[in-house]
């Protein structure tokens, strides 16, 4: 169960097995730029990612709280998400995320 993260020119293929959210996967993999400081409470914005492509069958709607937080992150994009709100499901395979470059 892997997905892909692009980060400053590198491409990381991460195994999501055993984790609940993609934030946790990224923190465990030391992906630069992903801190997950608030532990998934949507108060910090430190797991901001751009979703580059979503596989069929992978759905995770944005909540109002997440949208509020995404309005104020650095480098917002149409595919902006908080990785703590992206669950690990069998459909995660094929998901591509990008960590926005620090401003």
Task: Tell me, residue by residue from 24 to 53, as one string, x for binding to other proteins by CB under 8 A and - for no binding.
Answer: ---xx-x-xx-x-xxx-xxxxxx-x-----
In whole angstroms, the minimum distance from the beta carbon of 100 to other proteins comes to 10
In whole angstroms, the minimum distance from the beta carbon of 43 to other proteins comes to 5
| Nearest-10 Cα torsion for 79, 21, 43, 49 | -30
Which residues between 56 and 85 bind other proteins (CB under 8 A)? Answer: 64-65, 68-69, 71-74
Nearer Cβ to other proteins (27/60): 27
| Interface with other proteins, residue 101, by CB under 8 A | no
d(CA 18, CA 20): 7
∠ CA 98-84-11, rounded to 5° = 25
CA distances from 82 to 9, 62, 100 (A): 21, 9, 12
* DSSP assigned state of 103: -
Q: Which residues of the shown chain bind other proteins in the complex (CB under 8 A)?
A: 18, 27-28, 30, 32-33, 35, 37-39, 41-46, 48, 64-65, 68-69, 71-74, 102-103
């Amino acid at each position: 169960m892997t997905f892909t993260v692009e980060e400053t020119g590198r491409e990381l293929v991460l195994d999501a097995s055993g984790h609940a959210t993609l934030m946790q996967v990224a923190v465990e993999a030391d992906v630069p730029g992903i801190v997950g400081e608030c532990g998934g409470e949507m108060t910090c914005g430190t797991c901001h990612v751009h979703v580059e492509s979503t596989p069929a069958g992978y759905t995770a709607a944005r909540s109002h709280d997440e949208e509020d937080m995404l309005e104020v992150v650095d480098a917002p994009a149409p595919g902006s998400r908080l990785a703590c709100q992206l669950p690990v499901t069998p459909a995660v395979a094929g998901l591509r995320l990008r960590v926005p470059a620090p401003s």
